[in-house]
Structure 1
């Protein structure tokens, strides 16, 4: 999902007070005469307003300046969700630039801490906490030298170039910028290689066991003929309104750039990966086994969960949740009339052909039908819906072998049609709810369309909130009636179990020293994930410490907030209004989300009381007339 534009995205924060979220003044009250309850003097009010204005102006100037600088730093860089600021170059990633970024964000944090946040009003208290979390995350990654590991088993800097190549280019200027990026690949790859070499020297690398086959996406570019080369994609079909002579000239420039700059750079990267990196990468698995490992893993936990929880506590929460879900799974199996043990039921699900699509098109069409069924229900659960629409497309072939089952962004829900015997249909409803609507596509679109928020909240992504909402969306499928059979419901439960198991597996690997085999066995024994998914998912957790923790902890936070609101409001609880309040936040740390829910309770009580008073007054008026 969308990052905060760093090689290793997303981070910690301090919780907001209820007073700050409610926008209440925390300035000291001024005493009036003992015999009267007077308002503050005009002078006192003016002084408070001046302080408000000064703090708010300083804060806005700071985040505006930093956001502009941040976008310039990463101009030309793409990932699967976000296209970077237009540029004819790729981002600089050399050590001097990394040092500059560390100094810059350290200064920003210093300036931010100098602002009296108790004097911020309106939306700024929330803006402050979100912005501070982002800067802390960016700075922590710089200090931990995260840029020395610019890829993992899930994604890489070279595969991100494929997302750039697949984006539509609409005019000649766009093609010239793209050609500039192609010509800049040698410099960009050389800097990345230098960084990875430095990581190897100090034992900071992707674990060797997860690297098998990860060079295939590089080799595909090296071996492809020009017309089939991924990076030539934009030139295959160019805008019809572009003169033929100009199209021919641009294609010739692309062919030359690919031959003279791109292919030599990819060959050099392939040789480095095969001859050095894959042979010298660390043989350990745990994040805590790397330099400053304990601090690194705690930083990743804060980054991805926005909570300061010790790994042992997260592991315990995971085991407790796994036990709860297992009991629900057993009850669901009983409804299928299956006669056998839990392992036998999992074997049945993994091996019976009736549970699997016969073609990629069948999988895509089933997902499309589920998405349309959600369209018919969504208005009952969410009041404000986004204008943005999403497409459903297969995961590109160069990514598919090591990619997750699906991935959702603002404009696309990517569905993996590779290895169809590992893509069960009973999981598809939960997957579609998570990745498209009301999950990632809907949430990120609403955030981007929220013009009342500053850009650093509209276009960034905090994993605990985003993944928590998407996992909560799977649960909304129960209320929407999307799980038609006990097998579909078991698919939902296996996805819940999968995310609860991540709490156990991630902390098991990175804190308790679990082996890859033990982690795979835990997923295999507790979920109905296919063997292919078990292997790719565990490798993802090994190479991406902490990210897997965000999902279930995020969902638990939203569920706590909803349960508290339902209990407090009773018949006055409005599910659409609750979801609108949560979604209007954009992407925020979990403590901010829960504080917003407290504010929602107060607002709803006030609204309900006002409505009852209005109704009573109307009734009294009618009685008086009669």
Structure 2
């Protein structure tokens, strides 16, 4: 029966992947497939997704997991999570404001990656491109309709977020002209070229820009009538229940917002003590704020050139590289390095990001922000490079991409949808620096603790805003006391937690904590026979999974041992 169960499971995974490729353009592009309709963000679309989710759940009920191989059980667990998420897509659609900066980021991706990057070669390509342009207008119209529908349900936009939402929309409106400015149309004949340029102008001036103007008129006018004085999900009808679901969805294991809040408070208090010990170690007898001012003024923690930034990162890599084999038996084949972001992108990014290897660029890179160096402290550079590159995201994402045996629903989708695993691994990897000898210098150790506390305070602030009804001012005061962020960044972060991506920022520390809990459990069970390399192989070998599945794998592994 194992073969029949595996075949049935593969068909479900194939159908789920086909749905992803058909509805999310970035995944179609990643495998070289043509893009169909761009998403409109409509209720009808999420209703179709909910139907797919219910179908996945129903079909999984017909499979006995005991008849599956160990690896197939991992696929089963991921599809269970996916089916649960998608089946509730219609309900969760109401919880998100479509024009919030992070929520609307997909519009820019579609504009740049699909419309702007396309090279039409014939009449059919012109038709496809013009339909995508019309889809942009449809997205904008749907966003306005959704905001009005949310207001009717009692989900008005917080007043504190309206200006930022309008600014995001103005940014997209300004970019729309660039999205529709195709340069590479030399392969087209005269008639098709004319049809393309005339159609682009007609859709831009007749559909897209008027839709943006109507949306802006709503945000600066009618939206204020239903706007709320508070922030956070708990103020809305059904908002507390929504947040509880978001917390478990983010964590991928059972945990309540109350537990998250208490864990955050305890973690921040512990990190406060660890920071105080480092200050005492270096002979400083003042308070944290005074020490922070010293750090901000100390030239040792501010690179003067992008090249100096790279030198600092490489110095920490050079400490890890010779000893990494003591912690990892299997490492990615792809090399890794640091490289500056394109300067044109730096203004819109606070930090940087990890760039996975590709066939064209077969090196994993941490693309760092090399601007504003006079105000950009490097005190946490060691922790940052371990999180982003080695043994963090590179050791996870490059290794997973190299595992060609994984079904794409696991190899491509899972790392992007399971933030607690992906970012939790990055945080866990950064914490390995203490035992790997990366943080021997007290400055690096202090920066690592600051990095951890920044992530830990999110547990307190996110739950405070969305469960306990904290104001932005109360949340900002707490965050300012527990981070080195500027007032502007504190404002941006608290708005992100409360009006844009509630619950999302919890995954970093919750994933870190779950991985350490599993490691401590394994160390306790195995005693002297525990090998950290075996544990890391177990966690990374299957790729990103819900933590319920990671824990099941570990329990089976311990039972076998």
Shorter chain as denominator, the TM-score bin is 0.7 to 0.9
From 522, 526, 532, give the equivalent of 1:575. Answer: 532
The alpha-carbon deviation at position 145 of structure 1 amounts to 2.3
Residue of structure 1 equivalent to 2:113: 164
2:234 is aligned with 1:276: no
Q: 1:95 to 1:230 in 2, by over 3 A?
A: closer
Residue of structure 2 equivalent to 1:299: 245
- Secondary structure of the 1:212 match is helix
Residue of structure 2 equivalent to 1:444: 397
Residue of structure 2 equivalent to 1:135: 83
The alpha-carbon deviation at position 223 of structure 1 amounts to 4.7
Asked whether the 8 Å contact 1:220–1:398 carries over to 2, the reply is: no
Residue of structure 2 equivalent to 1:458: 411
2:422 is aligned with 1:480: no
For the residues of structure 2 that align with 1:436 and 1:172, how far apart are their CA atoms?
39
Asked whether the 8 Å contact 1:77–1:91 carries over to 2, the reply is: no
The alpha-carbon deviation at position 550 of structure 1 amounts to 1.4
- Secondary structure of the 1:426 match is coil
The alpha-carbon deviation at position 544 of structure 1 amounts to 1.2
1:212-223 pair list within 5 angstroms = 212-216=163-167, 218-220=169-171, 222-223=173-174
Asked whether the 8 Å contact 1:72–1:85 carries over to 2, the reply is: no
For the residues of structure 2 that align with 1:362 and 1:217, how far apart are their CA atoms?
33
Residue of structure 1 equivalent to 2:552: 595
- Secondary structure of the 2:366 match is strand
The alpha-carbon deviation at position 250 of structure 1 amounts to 9.6
For the residues of structure 2 that align with 1:578 and 1:210, how far apart are their CA atoms?
44
Residue of structure 2 equivalent to 1:26: none
For the residues of structure 1 that align with 2:344 and 2:162, how far apart are their CA atoms?
18
For the residues of structure 2 that align with 1:247 and 1:381, how far apart are their CA atoms?
60
Asked whether the 8 Å contact 1:357–1:421 carries over to 2, the reply is: yes
For the residues of structure 1 that align with 2:157 and 2:34, how far apart are their CA atoms?
31
Asked whether the 8 Å contact 1:297–1:510 carries over to 2, the reply is: yes
The alpha-carbon deviation at position 231 of structure 1 amounts to 6.2
From 304, 308, 324, give the equivalent of 2:254. Answer: 308
- Secondary structure of the 2:58 match is helix
Q: 1:465 to 1:372 in 2, by over 3 A?
A: same
1:542-581 pair list within 5 angstroms = 542=498, 543-581=500-538
For the residues of structure 1 that align with 2:111 and 2:308, how far apart are their CA atoms?
26
The alpha-carbon deviation at position 127 of structure 1 amounts to 1.9
From 443, 454, 458, give the equivalent of 1:498. Answer: 454
Residue of structure 2 equivalent to 1:3: none
Residue of structure 1 equivalent to 2:542: 585
- Secondary structure of the 2:339 match is strand
Residue of structure 1 equivalent to 2:279: 333
For the residues of structure 2 that align with 1:85 and 1:206, how far apart are their CA atoms?
37
Q: Deviations over 1:28-57 (max 9, x none)?
A: xxxxxxxxxxxxxxxxxxxxxx3x444333
Q: 1:134 to 1:166 in 2, by over 3 A?
A: same
From 333, 336, 339, give the equivalent of 1:392. Answer: 339
Q: 1:225 to 1:94 in 2, by over 3 A?
A: closer
TM-score for the superposition, normalised by structure 2:
0.84
1:339-350 pair list within 5 angstroms = 339-350=285-296
- Secondary structure of the 2:100 match is coil
For the residues of structure 1 that align with 2:547 and 2:23, how far apart are their CA atoms?
28
Residue of structure 1 equivalent to 2:362: none
Asked whether the 8 Å contact 1:203–1:282 carries over to 2, the reply is: no
Residue of structure 2 equivalent to 1:516: 472
- Secondary structure of the 1:408 match is strand
Asked whether the 8 Å contact 1:349–1:528 carries over to 2, the reply is: no
Residue of structure 2 equivalent to 1:191: 142
Which piece of structure 1 moves more, 261-270 or 64-73? 261-270
- Secondary structure of the 2:70 match is coil
From 70, 77, 86, give the equivalent of 2:34. Answer: 86
For the residues of structure 1 that align with 2:334 and 2:125, how far apart are their CA atoms?
26
TM-score for the superposition, normalised by structure 1:
0.76
Asked whether the 8 Å contact 2:6–2:72 carries over to 1, the reply is: yes
For the residues of structure 1 that align with 2:422 and 2:186, how far apart are their CA atoms?
45
1:226-245 pair list within 5 angstroms = 229=178, 232=181, 235=183
2:346 is aligned with 1:406: no
Q: 1:100 to 1:82 in 2, by over 3 A?
A: same
Give the aligned length.
542
Residue of structure 1 equivalent to 2:445: 489
Asked whether the 8 Å contact 2:120–2:187 carries over to 1, the reply is: no
The alpha-carbon deviation at position 526 of structure 1 amounts to 1.8
For the residues of structure 1 that align with 2:199 and 2:310, how far apart are their CA atoms?
36
Gaps of 5+ in 2: 358-364
The alpha-carbon deviation at position 144 of structure 1 amounts to 2.8
Gaps of 5+ in 1: 1-49, 606-626
The alpha-carbon deviation at position 380 of structure 1 amounts to 3.8
Q: 1:505 to 1:222 in 2, by over 3 A?
A: closer
The alpha-carbon deviation at position 303 of structure 1 amounts to 0.8
Q: 1:207 to 1:443 in 2, by over 3 A?
A: farther
Residue of structure 2 equivalent to 1:318: 264
The alpha-carbon deviation at position 139 of structure 1 amounts to 1.9
For the residues of structure 1 that align with 2:317 and 2:212, how far apart are their CA atoms?
40
Which piece of structure 1 moves more, 392-401 or 138-147? 392-401
The alpha-carbon deviation at position 184 of structure 1 amounts to 3.5
Q: Deviations over 1:251-286 (max 9, x none)?
A: 988765654434665534543453223543443212
Q: 1:210 to 1:400 in 2, by over 3 A?
A: farther
- Secondary structure of the 1:438 match is coil
Residue of structure 2 equivalent to 1:68: 18
Residue of structure 2 equivalent to 1:202: 153
Q: Deviations over 1:292-332 (max 9, x none)?
A: 11220111011100122221121111111111111111111
- Secondary structure of the 1:413 match is strand
The alpha-carbon deviation at position 103 of structure 1 amounts to 2.4
Residue of structure 2 equivalent to 1:124: 72
The alpha-carbon deviation at position 215 of structure 1 amounts to 4.2
Q: Deviations over 1:176-211 (max 9, x none)?
A: 666753453223332333333322332336533234
Q: 1:117 to 1:88 in 2, by over 3 A?
A: closer
The alpha-carbon deviation at position 84 of structure 1 amounts to 8.8
